[in-house]
Structure 1
Amino acid sequence: MTTTTTATTRRRTGPAAPPTVSPRRVWALARAELLLLVRNRTALFNALALPPLSVALFAAVGGIGDGMPEAMGAMLLNLLVFMALAFVVYYNLTVAYVARREELVLKRYLVGECSRAEILAGAAVPAFAVALAQTVLGVVAVSVFLEPPAFVNPLLMVVAVVGGAVMLTTLAAATSGLSRTVESAQLTTLPLLIVAIPFAGLFGVPVASSGVLDTVGTFTPLRPITDLMLLGAAGIDGDGTVLTFAETFAAARLPWAVLVAWTVLAALAARRWMRWEPRR
């Protein structure tokens, strides 16, 4: 009996096995998290009302201007998606992972059938759902209140949302390992947000630039999301050129490669830093 117990403990606390994901187990975990979200009516209302209200306010104050209304609609949609991914997915998930760890929820999950990948995915489903809902509501609101974007390549928009959510989920898992408490998670998430947001290209249509800062910004973790969104929504590349459907695929190669690279790096960091029980 002792030998069996020791072997079981070693399997749970030793190096993680290759991640396996069962949709049934992921949904069981996600359902519990979704119930908590649905019961918090205030948080749910704020999450779902933010996109249409933001677009309506933008239109009411005349933010669209006389220049490029279609591009401005794409830029506003880009901003809404970026905020959903950066704060709903990355920030909220970091806090959630830390809270579940400190409450010993993650440790109890590990004793059951679920793999580490399934535990992370189950906790991330509500954040994914809110980010997706905000994206859909943002598209509808921009199309109703402003000049709708051309939607040159919707596939790239899907890649930006889904790929960005996956990348930021793994970054949240890594960041949670650096956070001792829920309160400290508010600080450990700041470096990414403070450093990456200014380079994300949120506040204007991209223009040609050979500066060092523009080059550095291209390879920051949040920039691929905005580049892919602008390419998909308006066909605008990093030089501010409007492209056709076929041309957007070629322009998307660099941001897609950067997004994949950051996802891999984040997964390695999560494997190295994430903790599944409180520090003693």
Structure 2
Amino acid sequence: MTTTSTTLTAGGRTARPTASRTRRLLALARAETLLLVRNRAALTNALLLPVGFVGLFGLLGGVGGDGASGADVAAAVLVMLLVVALIFVVYYNLTTAYVARREDRVLQRLLTGSTTRVEALLAPALPAVVVTLAQLVLGYAAVAVVIGPPGMTNPVLLLVAVLGGAAVLGALAAATAGFSRTVESVQLTTLPVIVLVLPFAGMFPTPDVGPLSTVARFTPLHPVSELVLLGLNGTDAAGRTLSFVETFGAAALPTAVLVGWTALGILAARRGMRWAPRR
């Protein structure tokens, strides 16, 4: 005979143990990872993208202008790599996954059991975040070989950039999936976000002057670029080189912008996400 311990909340309702939720989420994430591993084309693209991306810019002579140092060029390439990974590995692929799971009634079946909506959305997101982190690590190694060793002023800010960018685009993916009728339509429904976000993502160095530069700093992906440059070279938006401690102060604004966009994305997802097939 076995007994099950439960925890009662103030209202008298039974609260599920955190450990149980974690195990359930990890089990769902493992299932999503298996689907990714079995998709050899997607897995190959995910692993080869960083090396190919860096190799291409190495052959083209790098980015950032004739006066740019090797560390500046390496940082610029890694910024572009991370932005592309967040857009396509996280945002586009997650939107496709959410729509496919919904239309196959997988989400409905999960929600009829003990799985919560948050867990159903996080399960496909975890492998996407892991792939993005792996791409950044592989890209860093490839940049060190092809272009030159990048800097590493504050690795904490690199992690914040990846997780913050993934949180924003993951929430936007759930919101976009809500008005995507089919997997095929995702190519169109994701286009507005991609077209509006990419030009202001800060992939190419620009002077920190003018109203357009100010607007760009408050777009979803520009803070990611700022945090990566701060984390690698300690360079802020004005082009100043900061110390390890000073980078935390400079990271306050881009981090706050990421938090704000994440909150807006979650609100949009709660209003727009559909859990049953659209017929």
Please, what TM-score do these two structures have when normalized by structure 2?
A: 0.89
The amino acid that maps onto 2:257 is V
Q: What whole-Å deviation, never above 9, does each CA across 1:84-138 have from its counterpart, x for those lacking one? A: 1111001110111011111111111101111011111111122112111101101
The amino acid that maps onto 2:95 is T
Rounded to whole Å, the distance in 1 between the matches of 2:145 and 2:120 is: 39
Say if 2:141 is the partner of 1:140. yes
Q: Which runs of 4+ in 1 moved over 3 A?
A: none
Q: Which residue of 2 aligns with 1:163?
A: 164
The amino acid that maps onto 1:261 is G
The amino acid that maps onto 1:90 is Y
Aligned to 1:141, what secondary structure does the other structure show?
helix
Q: Which residue of 2 aligns with 1:208?
A: 208
Rounded to whole Å, the distance in 1 between the matches of 2:52 and 2:177 is: 32
The amino acid that maps onto 1:208 is D
Q: What whole-Å deviation, never above 9, does each CA across 1:59-89 have from its counterpart, x for those lacking one? A: 2332265532111100101111111111100
Q: Which residue of 1 aligns with 2:72?
A: 71
Deviates more, 1:105-114 or 1:234-243: 234-243
The amino acid that maps onto 2:230 is L
Rounded to whole Å, the distance in 1 between the matches of 2:109 and 2:170 is: 21
The amino acid that maps onto 1:267 is I
Q: Which residue of 2 aligns with 1:251?
A: 250
RMSD, aligned α-carbons? 1.8
Inter-CA distance 47–152: structure 2 relative to 1 (3 Å threshold): same
Q: How does 1:1-280 map to 2 (within 5 A)?
A: 22-63=21-62, 65=66, 67-204=68-205, 206-209=206-209, 211-280=210-279
The amino acid that maps onto 2:115 is C
Following superposition, the deviation at residue 199 of structure 1 comes to 0.8
Please, what TM-score do these two structures have when normalized by structure 1?
A: 0.89
Rounded to whole Å, the distance in 1 between the matches of 2:186 and 2:44 is: 24
Rounded to whole Å, the distance in 2 between the matches of 1:151 and 1:192 is: 31
The amino acid that maps onto 1:218 is R
Following superposition, the deviation at residue 30 of structure 1 comes to 1.2
The amino acid that maps onto 1:229 is V
Rounded to whole Å, the distance in 2 between the matches of 1:27 and 1:42 is: 24
Inter-CA distance 178–116: structure 2 relative to 1 (3 Å threshold): same
Rounded to whole Å, the distance in 1 between the matches of 2:53 and 2:220 is: 25
Aligned to 1:75, what secondary structure does the other structure show?
helix
The amino acid that maps onto 2:100 is A
Identity %: 57
Q: Which residue of 2 aligns with 1:14?
A: none
Rounded to whole Å, the distance in 2 between the matches of 1:164 and 1:54 is: 20
Q: Which residue of 2 aligns with 1:11?
A: none
Following superposition, the deviation at residue 202 of structure 1 comes to 0.4
Aligned to 1:148, what secondary structure does the other structure show?
coil
Rounded to whole Å, the distance in 1 between the matches of 2:194 and 2:55 is: 26
Aligned to 1:38, what secondary structure does the other structure show?
helix
Rounded to whole Å, the distance in 2 between the matches of 1:67 and 1:261 is: 33
Rounded to whole Å, the distance in 2 between the matches of 1:151 and 1:239 is: 19
Q: What whole-Å deviation, never above 9, does each CA across 1:214-250 have from its counterpart, x for those lacking one? A: 1111111111111111111111111112211111111
Structure 1 unaligned spans of 5+: 1-19
The amino acid that maps onto 2:47 is L
Rounded to whole Å, the distance in 1 between the matches of 2:52 and 2:141 is: 12
